[in-house]
Each structure stands twice: as C-alpha cells, then as structure tokens.
Structure 1
Amino acid sequence: MQHQSVEENILTSCGYVALIGRPNVGKSSLLNRMLGQKISITAYRPQTTRHRILGIKTFINTQIIYIDTPGVQKKEYRTINNYLNKVANSTLGEADIILFLVEAHRFTQDDELILEILKDIQAPILLVLNKIDRITQKHDLLPCIEFFTKKHNFKEVIPISAQKGDNLPALERRVAELLPKRSFIYPEDQVTNCSERFLAAELIREKLTRHLGQELPYAITVSIESFEQDREICRIAAVIYVERLGQKAIVIGKQGLGLKQIGYESRVAMEKMLDSKVYLKLWVKVCEGWSDNKHLLHKLGYSNDPAYLSTII
C-alpha cells in the first residue's frame, strides 16, 4: 500500500499573496476590487497606505490572503517613509506569491528599485500591468510587456484595470492555481485582520488625504480615542494629529467648515462599513515632528508587528 503525503490529503489551497509596487500604482484599488468591498483606503497621493493590511477571500476550496503594502519609494524623506519601505519589503519574505503592479507604459526609478529587491525572491512573481483602460490600442501593450520581461523572468504577465475590473477573474484564477495545498488559515467568513477601530481611523485619514493631501501629505495621522458600540449607535471619538499649529488651522478650515465636512464624509463611510448609526466627534491636536520620530511613530500605531493591526488606534 502506498502512503499519501500530508499535502496530498489536503483538499484546500491557501496562501499569502503580496501586492507590491510603487506609490499610486493601484494596489489598494486592486485589493478592494478582489474582495468586493472596501478594506484599504485609496487616494491620489503617494503612500496613502501606511500599514500592512490583509484582505482575505475564501471561495469553494480556496483561500487567498492578499497583503496590501505601502508603495515603495527610492527617496526616503522622513522616518515615516523609511518605515513604509521596510513594511513593504518585510512582506515579501512571507508571501507564497507576489503580484508586482506596474502602470502600463510608465516605468520609474521606484519600479527599478522594486525589481532589484525582487531579484532574490524565490516565490513566483506575476507582473500585473495595471491601468490598461487608459490604452486605446491594445496592441500597444506588446512593447510594454516585452520591455518588462527583458528585465525579469516573471512567472506570467497579466494586464488588468483595477478601477474598471478588466481581466481580474483571469488574475484571480491564476493566483488560485499557484497557491500551495494548505488548510485554511482564517475562518471562511473573515475578510480582514484589521479591527473596526483601525478601519474607522483609516476612513478619517482617507477623507483628510483627499481634501488636504496636497498641502499636508505626511503631516496627518489619526488616533481613535474611544469606540463604543451598542444596538442603536456607535460612538466614536478620534484625534487628528498634525505637526504644526498652522496645519491645525488648515484642517479645521474657515469657521470650522473643513473639519465639519471631513467629519460628515467620515461618518457616512463608517455607517456604511458598520451598518449602524454613528456619532463621530473629532479633535485636531499638534504633535510636533511625529512623522520623523521613531518613538512617536510607534506610539501612534506604526509597528512592523502584523498582529498589531487588530489592536492599534
């Protein structure tokens, strides 16, 4: 009688899939599309994603654990930029599959930096050409594919549009095929490792980034002071931290209208996420130099520990 290996007895596939790429290439948009719901915030600003966020999709006998990471940048202006690069790089060693996202017909120094990092990675790497909806003639993709495949021996090249949803089923099928045989790591109904407190803080930061990202790209962070939920309403109190007094005035806006609008948009988004009425109270405080201070970064919830996301803020 032949003895079957443990792997042969396992009927399910499961693994970690890292989304890596430069800032604003569409990693968070892809994650949200794949999950069919919003887990990771998005904005047209570099390094909007600041933490390692898991998005879990389970179907039939497959569980894909996507890891959204901060965008990798060659220039590290502050301690927070260095931290974000480290978060992204540390994820690669844990991944069973890597999706390297690039923008079709655009290659930058940050893309080159990531290619250098990927040279020593043993996991299969899929090149994902995003934003193909911006290319009118699809045959124009061929030179782009040829350009990238000369730079690295990718397992496969898959063109997509994360925003439009183009070719995402094909990408998901290929990822599922490459996953190792393994028992599910998370319960089948779990979609993220992030707590509701964390997601609430991220929603506030998203609204701030969209309204004020040009003026305050890295100067803002959010801390949830209290989060109380009952059957009728969820009461949330949050502090928006800036680095200088002048930035506080920008966030609050003339006659408080800026903060009022951010609070309104955040509350609406939270009510949709929590499926509950939300009472949201916001304050703005100055914490000088927090984005360039390791101690303050840790205190404000920036940690490399993956388990930290379920408890921080």
Structure 2
Amino acid sequence: MTDETNLISSLSDLPRIPNAPPGFKSGFVGIIGRPNVGKSTLMNQLVGQKIAITSPVAQTTRNRLRGILTTEKAQIIFVDTPGIHKPHHELGKVIVQNAQNAINSVDLVLLVVDSTVPAGGGDRFIIDLLEKTKNPIILGLNKSDQQSSNSEAINESYLALAKPYDWPILQFSALNGSGIEALQEKLIEQLELGPYYYPPDLVTDQPERFIMGELIREQILLQTRQEVPHSVAVVIESVEETPNLTRVFAAINVERDSQKGIIIGKNGSMLKEIGTAARTAIQKLIAGEVYLKLFVKVEPKWRQSRSRLSEFGYRLEE
C-alpha cells in the first residue's frame, strides 16, 4: 500500500463535520478570571466531562485548554485560560500572556469571579484589560452554593464593577451545576450564526497525551503541599498500546532534590499514591486498562528557562 493510499485511508477514518442547520450558532468563548475562581471546574461542568484538572491550589491551569459543547442549537468552544495574576518567573509570564492573548482571540468573554469574597484589585486589573477588547462580555458570579449571610454586599461589589459596561450578569455554581443551564442559554444568545468547527461528539481538541499528563499533575497538586505543586512539570515520554493494556511512561520534573524527595516519599509511598490515583483517572479517560510508570527528575530552575518551558509544552500562544 502506498503512502498516498495510507493517507487517504486514515483521513476517511476521521469523524466528519456535518453542515450546520439553519439558525445554528457557534463561536469561541474565553473563560477569564483570577486564579482559583473555578474556571476549570466550570468548563468541565459545561461540557459534561472532566477535561481540565482542578485543585485547591491557585494557578492550576497552565495552558489554554479547549472544551467543546455541542447542542442542537449551537457549538461552543470554551477556552479555559490560566488565572491572571502578577507573574514571578518566566513560566508565570508565559501563563499570563497566554491568558491575555485569549481575550482578543475569542468571540465572547466570560469573566468568572468568586462570589464568596468581595471584588478586589485582581478583578479590577482584569476589567482594565477587558476595556481594550471589542468582544461582548458576560460576568459570571461563581460559587453561589458557598455564599454566606453577607452575599448581597459581595454581589453588589461585582455589580458596581460591571454597571458602567452594561454587562449581562449570571449567578451559578460550577460545583453543583445550579444556574449552568441559564448560563449556557445566555452564551448561545450572545453568539453569532456559524458552522460546526468540530465533530459533534468531540469534547476537547487536546491530544490524549496532554490530558494524561494533566491528570498526573492534578494528583501531585492534590497530594503535595508547600512549594512542590508549582515546581512540577509532567512529560509523557511514551505510550504503548495493545488490545488489552495501555502502558504510559511519564517523567515528573522538579527543580530541587528536596522536591524529588517529597514526591517520592518514604519508601516510595507518595509516588505510589500519586500513581495509583492518576492511573484510575487515566483509565476513565481512555476507558481501558492502564499500566502507569512514573519517574522523577530534577531539572534546576526549569521555570526560568524559555528552552525548558518549550520542551515541557509551555509556549506563548497567538
């Protein structure tokens, strides 16, 4: 069989993108906000499947991640961006620049805030950035299920920020799903008529290896403390697939020997715990049995090195 025949055969196996019916809407929605306001949890809730990692640690998201929601009326491509914050190293600069770039590369911006705390300087900084975009903006008050008795005063602090711009405002909980249906309808209402950009059954455009690496990093975020979570980069070195088993080999890169010791743990206990939980998550992702082998490597000051950042998958995006 020739290379050309192989190419034609492989293309025929790809899911087909149908023609959109009359009145169909589509577009890209950027989910913007400070770190730890629930952006990744929200995207997972909107698309109905876990594709973005979540943890109590701020700045969990490092790359722009696309989630895809397709309904009878519309196809929404959500761009989950890293939390916008003051960067302290090259990795932070790349993360924040990518989030800022996303504001102007989407059709609609969803500004997500944490409605359990009053509006602060970080929110005002983001609003200053949004003043420069011509895209429509929706303000989303997340964590409505966790609000306390002073919720009215907190909500008013955000309403005051949004009032000069006449932004639509919705309240919801990304955690339990309340208010999500109304949010989805408002997003569709704001989009223009458009085509399918992706096959209807696709929920993300990220390669499987990327999601595998993120699921491993999520367990490190959940199970380690102190400085370790922010100093970790996970690289999937190889994936070997057989009919009954998928073997995944991944390197966990840290900056110092002390961090390596924390991740490995006494007699390898922490690494085993991380691996067991990550393997379970990856098995759900691929719907099959997984053998996961983790290695821990020390790469001094990798967050300060543009070449290392590129090797580990952190690049400036257009």
- TM-score relative to the length of structure 1: 0.91
Specify the code of the residue in structure 2 equivalent to 1:226: S
1:180 aligns with 2:222: no
Could you tell me which of 303, 309, 313 is aligned with 2:315?
A: 303
Could you tell me which of 206, 209, 223 is aligned with 1:194?
A: 206
2:33 paired residue number: 21
Do the aligned partners of residues 67 and 36 (structure 1) sit closer, same or farther apart at CA in structure 2, a change above 3 Å counting? same
Specify the code of the residue in structure 2 equivalent to 1:84: I
Identity rate of aligned residues, in percent? Answer: 37
Q: Deviations over 1:89-132 (max 9, x none)?
A: 01111111100011113223221210110011111100001111
Could you tell me which of 159, 162, 166 is aligned with 1:146?
A: 159
Specify the code of the residue in structure 2 equivalent to 1:50: R
1:259 aligns with 2:257: no
**Cα distance in 1 for residues equivalent to 2:145 and 2:154:** 11
1:99 aligns with 2:115: no
Specify the code of the residue in structure 2 equivalent to 1:86: Q
Specify the code of the residue in structure 1 equivalent to 2:29: V
2:143 paired residue number: 131
Kindly indicate whether the alpha-carbon contact (under 8 Å) linking 2:119 and 2:157 is maintained by their aligned counterparts in 1. Answer: no
Deviation at 1:305, TM superposition (A): 4.1
**C-alpha RMSD of matched pairs (Å):** 1.6
Deviation at 1:166, TM superposition (A): 1.3
Specify the code of the residue in structure 2 equivalent to 1:16: F
**Cα distance in 2 for residues equivalent to 1:136 and 1:192:** 35
Deviation at 1:213, TM superposition (A): 4.1
1:71 aligns with 2:83: yes
Do the aligned partners of residues 139 and 245 (structure 1) sit closer, same or farther apart at CA in structure 2, a change above 3 Å counting? closer
1:120 paired residue number: 132
Deviation at 1:133, TM superposition (A): 1.2
State how many pairs are aligned.
Answer: 296
Structure 2 residue matching 1:194: 3-state secondary structure: coil
Kindly indicate whether the alpha-carbon contact (under 8 Å) linking 2:113 and 2:141 is maintained by their aligned counterparts in 1. Answer: yes
Structure 1 residue matching 2:105: 3-state secondary structure: coil
Segments of 5+ residues of structure 2 without an aligned counterpart are 1-20
Residues 241-260 of structure 1: matches in 2 within 5 Å? Answer: 241-260=253-272
Residues 20-39 of structure 1: matches in 2 within 5 Å? Answer: 20-39=32-51
Deviation at 1:140, TM superposition (A): 4.9
Specify the code of the residue in structure 1 equivalent to 2:264: I
Deviation at 1:42, TM superposition (A): 0.3
Structure 2 residue matching 1:126: 3-state secondary structure: strand
2:67 paired residue number: 55
Structure 1 residue matching 2:132: 3-state secondary structure: coil
Deviation at 1:256, TM superposition (A): 0.5
1:6 paired residue number: none
